[in-house]
Structure 1
């Protein structure tokens, strides 16, 4: 198939619009760049710097006990004294607020956590965008989704040492790159019926983030057809901050080719390696 100059220009404009929206979400005043700390909850009430209340978790779920001078709101309703948030589902979360801070109450890898998000966090304040490869239509490749007979519980590691995530993988995606037949185990995507693949490739740790990149796929067609647009491969939050619990790709999701498409190592990580 021949790509005309007009086709390439249209492709580049569509990619630029998509990437701008993606960057805007990332740099939201209470997005992941605004996270200032990662606190792990236990059965013993604990207090954390710049977070109101004494926090704990148990059979009834996450709870907080606030002093009379402390403020915390949930859905705009002020809380007082003891409040039980209940059991937070895995990969779920609740957002509470105090002042200009949003407090994420979440469960990751079976552990309840707190993550304050402040608009003035230095990581967000100095953010200048994520570098990416120039979008090239050659990196949009056709594939085929092959569902498993039943979803397979798949355990993967995390950006945090010792933490494990478990996903029910519904199937795999088969495709070719540089004439090589390849396959990636897929996880459920954000949209119903959509898919998410986590992968590394020959650029990982060289020009792209070493631990992982992600690629969202639309709902497969009736015949299982999918399109893998590697120009839209994105970094996970752990590429920017150590306060993330991102999953690592499942075994077998390393591509033996250099996928020179999508987002590259963030400037912040490059600067950290230079300072080291």
Structure 2
């Protein structure tokens, strides 16, 4: 049987559509595998076992009861973190603690601890490690254990059924200058973050806008959002969505990649909350559902 040109084109399109759908499903499956790998990595969010705010002066660290900073695991006495009034910090290892700082054995002399950078100083002893973080005026120790129960007992992730219609090409409206919008975290601290523009999209005949913030130069757009599923089918505080930089006045919002914030898995994270502009009055039935495992 001879095919007309139009019939041939129709057959090509019919064959191409399932192929594109399969490619997209494979792409999302690979993204989900990578997501789980990051969460369950030895330095992933599931390894956190503590967040301890420091006082100015000496802060003894270890699992024994008489430490100022009592860890949930590890040696009874690891050493002492001295925090100066100007925010500088040093670590002196306890005798025989077998502690390392950035992979180098810690001796009897104090070692300066750097923080606020992409790679803060890491203090390690066996499976336990800690580093300094700053939130507002607070400086604390974030503690990890590669054998934490949350990591070893990870329950897996649950998702809404994959729905390509939630991969949305939104209009990008750039601001003349980035707007500084207030972002509040779970500690109640508020800091301004730059929003370079807004994504405008239509769903079910309604138009919505989302504001992304920038976490740093060259980083993807970061959307902190909530919707009508928050607190029931999805994590109550928020979900995160990342998007590549806009091209030709468009930005892709793939809600199938909406993910839970670290606070959904551990109480030792300090997650940002959605700005008022990013609280959608519709059900976004795509991406990660609420975590069913232990997170408190």
Runs of 5+ consecutive residues of structure 2 not aligned to the other structure: 1-12, 61-68, 72-76
Residues 76-115 of structure 1: pairs in structure 2 closer than 5 A? 76-80=103-107, 81-86=109-114, 88-89=115-116, 93-115=120-142
Counterpart position of 1:35? 48
1:153, 1:138 → 2: CA distance?
32
Q: Work out which structure has the larger RCO, using CA pairs closer than 8 Å and 6 or more positions apart in sequence.
A: 1
* Paired residues, number: 268
Match status 1:201 vs 2:214: no
2:101, 2:172 → 1: CA distance?
41
Q: Is the 8 A contact 1:91 1:107 kept in 2?
A: no
String of CA shifts for 1:101-141, please: whole Å, max 9, x gaps: 23232223442221221121111111021111121110000
Counterpart position of 1:154? 181
Runs of 5+ consecutive residues of structure 1 not aligned to the other structure: none
Match status 1:188 vs 2:214: yes
Counterpart position of 2:246? 220
Change (3 A) 1:189 1:195: farther
Q: Which of these two proteins has the greater Rg computed from alpha carbons?
A: 2
CA RMSD of aligned residues (A): 2.4
Q: Report runs of 4+ in structure 1 exceeding 6 Å deviation.
A: none
Match status 1:177 vs 2:197: no
Q: Is the 8 A contact 1:201 1:256 kept in 2?
A: yes
Counterpart position of 1:255? 280
Change (3 A) 1:131 1:246: same
1:67, 1:199 → 2: CA distance?
45
Counterpart position of 2:70? 49
Q: Given the two structures, how large is their TM-score scaled by the length of structure 2? A: 0.82
SS at 1:38 equivalent: strand
Match status 1:168 vs 2:194: yes
Change (3 A) 1:110 1:182: farther
Between 4-13 and 38-47, the greater mean CA deviation after superposition = 4-13
Q: Given the two structures, how large is their TM-score scaled by the length of structure 1? A: 0.88
